[in-house]
Structure 1
Amino acid sequence: MPGLRNSDERHWQSAWQNLLPGSQRIEVIDWHLADLEKWRNAILKTLTSLEQPVLLIAHSFGSLASASIAHDYPSLVRGALLVAPAAPQKFGIEERLPQTEIARPLRLIGSDSDPWLAETGAKQLAHQWGADFHISKGKGHINSESQLGVWTEGLFELEKLLQQIDKHLVQSTAGLSKTHPGVLHTVSLAHKK
């Protein structure tokens, strides 16, 4: 789930979409309009068309909309990687976002040089939502301008999240199954290349 203005071909999300099998970009009607309800509806439309819960990988405003969906519709979401969320106050939506922990494995990655949300704000959102927190050094808004390519640091954080999801699935299914279809293996292979 990209942020405002979508993720162009230089964005790490576009690289990941090509790298991770089964990836699908959620499309919104207007990438230039930060309308939380319209973005939530776009996510819901996609998730309800799928046969199983998904892992959301979101950036900026997309992270805010994804956190909202993960909170309100946990049966549709296995977990979420929330990268460089934008400051909810910039859009006047702080009261419409989850005020309590989200009952799914989450990792929130902030940047110590993000102009859209200071490190302290990212840390506060992670605490509020019960997300594991990682700070990326000197990456700005962790977007195309950051020139990250495939963004290996992010892939390592994704792998940590996938391990959390596996652990969560084991606990919630009393050990029936430890894995979900091949994503962790794919990410592990990406690290070895």
Structure 2
Amino acid sequence: MPGEGATILFVPGLRDHVEDHWQTHAARGTPGAITVEPLRADKLSRAARVAALDAALDAIAGEVIIAAHSAGCLMVAHWAAAPTRKVRGALLVTPADVEHPLPAGYPAYDALAANGWLPIPRRALPFPAIVVASRNDPLAGFDRVAGFAGDWGARLYDAGDVGHLNPAAGYGSWPDGEALLRDLADERVGR
């Protein structure tokens, strides 16, 4: 079971909870897992999202492994600039590249900039991490995500052609994610 001995904290992106998302499936299948609750106000505010992540982390006793997706990865990177507790590791799946305009249907570049999402933090994370990159993600080019992984001091996992690794790309359950969480739990990440 991923995360034995540690609580898995799932950090969704800006679309919050999506029923057939890999995170939703993994959270249901992981005893004791917690998911950061959706915001009721200031939904586009990076500061409010990071505060919600911090509150969720604060409520967990013992070790934590973070499993973030899309803009959730950026929330983790922003939080890690001034961490309030120790984290065992993080799985950062298909981070969105908000430094470039996103496709139609996603928040506009100007709105993201105005709400504190830019620039994307580029400091090494203070915990082991795995960054999952897709070869055909409409929200971030592979080379950009590889650059984030390098800047964050994280191991890069090439997931191949998996789109944004969400239901729109044909992904619900994602067994590779569970294996990567096990790697973090077993500290087989390497930095």
State the TM-score bracket (shorter-chain normalisation): 0.7 to 0.9
Alignment of 1:25-104 (within 5 A): 25-30=35-40, 33-73=43-83, 75-90=85-100, 91-92=112-113, 93-95=117-119, 97-104=120-127
2:175 is the counterpart of 1:152: yes
Alignment of 1:105-116 (within 5 A): 105-116=128-139
- The structure-2 alpha-carbon separation of the partners of 1:134 and 1:166, relative to structure 1 and needing over 3 Å to count, comes to closer
Equivalent of 2:187 in 164, 172, 182: 164
Q: What is the SS of the residue equivalent to 1:57? A: strand
- The structure-2 alpha-carbon separation of the partners of 1:104 and 1:22, relative to structure 1 and needing over 3 Å to count, comes to same
Q: Aligned partner of 1:82: which letter? A: L
CA-based RMSD of the aligned residues comes to 2.3
2:119 is the counterpart of 1:119: no
User: How much identity, in percent, do the aligned residues show?
Assistant: 28
2:141 is the counterpart of 1:131: no
Q: Is contact 2:122-2:148 (8 Å) kept?
A: no
Partner Cα distance (2:150, 2:87) in 1: 19
Q: What is the SS of the residue equivalent to 1:72? A: coil
Q: Aligned partner of 1:44: which letter? A: D
Q: In structure 1, list runs of 5 or more residues that go unmatched.
A: 169-193
TM-score using structure 1 length: 0.78
- The structure-2 alpha-carbon separation of the partners of 1:70 and 1:78, relative to structure 1 and needing over 3 Å to count, comes to farther
Q: What is the SS of the residue equivalent to 1:164? A: coil
The superposition leaves residues 121-144 of structure 1 with CA deviations (integer Å, 9 ceiling, x where unpaired) of 100000000010011111100111
Equivalent of 1:141 in 151, 164, 173: 164
Partner Cα distance (1:139, 1:7) in 2: 20
Aligned residues: 167
Q: Is contact 2:149-2:156 (8 Å) kept?
A: yes
Match of residue 104 from structure 2: none
- The structure-2 alpha-carbon separation of the partners of 1:61 and 1:31, relative to structure 1 and needing over 3 Å to count, comes to farther
Q: Is contact 2:128-2:190 (8 Å) kept?
A: no
Match of residue 7 from structure 1: 17
Q: What is the SS of the residue equivalent to 1:80? A: strand
Q: Is contact 1:10-1:147 (8 Å) kept?
A: no
TM-score using structure 2 length: 0.78
- The structure-2 alpha-carbon separation of the partners of 1:31 and 1:132, relative to structure 1 and needing over 3 Å to count, comes to farther
